[in-house]
Structure formats: C-alpha cells, structure tokens
Amino acid sequence: MTAVIVIGGGFTGAALAIALCRRAPVPLDIAVIEPRVEFGRGVAFSATDHDHRINAPATSHFVVGDDAEGFDRWLRQTGRVERDPEMTVADGSLFPRRTELGTYVHLTFEQHAARSPSGSLLRHIHSRATTLAWKGEQFHVSLENGETLIGDLAIITTSNEKPRPQAPFAMPLTTTIPILVSSGDPVAGGLVTKPGQTRWKCHWSEC
C-alpha cells in the first residue's frame, strides 16, 4: 500500500486527505500530521470570536469537490442557522462564524476516516513534523514526539503561525495604545476617548 504523509492538517491538509480518500484508484495509507486535536481548523478556522466570520458565502467553501452545497446544507440541517440568525444576509446566503467551517471540515474528515470510499487508511498523527529527508527512495519525517514516519509521497500543507505584532509594536498582548487596531468594538467597549483618538485593546491571538 502506497504511504502518503501529509504535513499539516488545517483546511488544506484535511481537504487534500479527503480528496485522496475519495479519488484514489487503489487504497492508500494516508497519515496526516497535525498537532491540534481537530482537523480542518488551522490558524484560519480556530478563531472563537463571534465576529470572525467567513469572507464569502458558505456555498463558496467546500471540502468535497462534487458537493459545493455541502457546507451550506450542513449549516441548515444542523440548526446552526437558527442559533445564529446573523449569518443570513439579505439574499439568503450564509456567512457563518469561522469556527463553524472548522467543525464541518473536521467532521467530514472523521467520516472519511471511518469509511473511506477507496478503502484507504486515513489516520491522525497527533504531533509536529521537525525534519523531512529523502532517504533510500522514500521520505523520512521526524516527529516532535521522537517517532519517524516513512512514506512514498510527502505533501507539505502547513501555513503560518498565529500573527503577532512585530517590532516596534511588539508588546504584551493586553497593552492598549493609540491607533494600533486589532479587534473589538471601540464604541461599545468605551475605548473611544474623543474624535480622532481611538484606543483599542490588542487581541492578537485570533487575528
């Protein structure tokens, strides 16, 4: 069985692994390295702030290529639209919170791990990759937990770390300074002092 190592289990890595499960002509051994407990979230869809929503309709975000309506349908069928009526805009399109897409991708991954259309083995390696090397016609991936994975194909689908202010703005996360904007409502939060001088608290963990 051909062994495939996917380094990074955010949206891209999870979607790739799902596509391999669905489209592979023969069973594959697919190992996805992801330190988070859940697949599909990554940096983009780990945000928990209720104001962090996807930036295009739900029908534009899909995991399975031949089911573009899947995410939109899941939101409607699971009662999420009723629990979050603000996701529905005037034309009926849905703009859910980013965390909802992460949940959908994770559940879709779990479904394919339990029952792969191609008979492939899909597994979660709960660790971080530290090195990648080509040895003896195969890829060797060293993991943070001390183990080594060996595969015939290695695919890197990592993204960036969570954004943080760089010098000269590097500072404790709770620092409040003029002009520097990150998140929050300056009016409701009482952070507007007078016209032209806005003070917003810096919350960089979910930017």
DSSP per residue, 97-164: BHHHHHHHHHHHHHHHHHS-TT--EEEEE-S-EEEEEEETTEEEEEETTS-EEEESEEEE---PPPP-
Please report the pLDDT score of residue 183 as a whole number.
46
Specify whether the CB–CB gap between 40 and 98 falls below 8 A: no
Residue 184 CB neighbours (<10 A): 15
Domains of the chain by residue range: 2-156, 163-207
Q: What's the rounded Cα separation, in Å, for the pair 90 and 173? A: 37
User: For residue 146, what are the contacts with CB-CB under 8 A and spacing of at least 6?
Assistant: none
Q: What's the rounded Cα separation, in Å, for the pair 52 and 42? A: 14
C-alpha distances (whole Å) from 49 to each of 94, 192, 204 are 17, 21, 12
Amino acid of residue 171: M
Please report the pLDDT score of residue 52 as a whole number.
86
What is the CATH topology of the domain spanning 2-156? Answer: FAD/NAD(P)-binding domain (3.50.50)
Q: What's the rounded Cα separation, in Å, for the pair 49 and 203? A: 10
Ranges of the chain with pLDDT below 50? 179, 181-207
Q: What's the rounded Cα separation, in Å, for the pair 94 and 77? A: 13
DSSP per residue, 27-47: -EEEEEE-SSSSSS-TTTT--
For the chain, the C-alpha Rg in angstroms (whole number) is: 21
Q: Which helix (H) or strand (E) segment is 3 a member of? A: strand 2-7
Please report the pLDDT score of residue 158 as a whole number.
86
Residues in the chain: 207
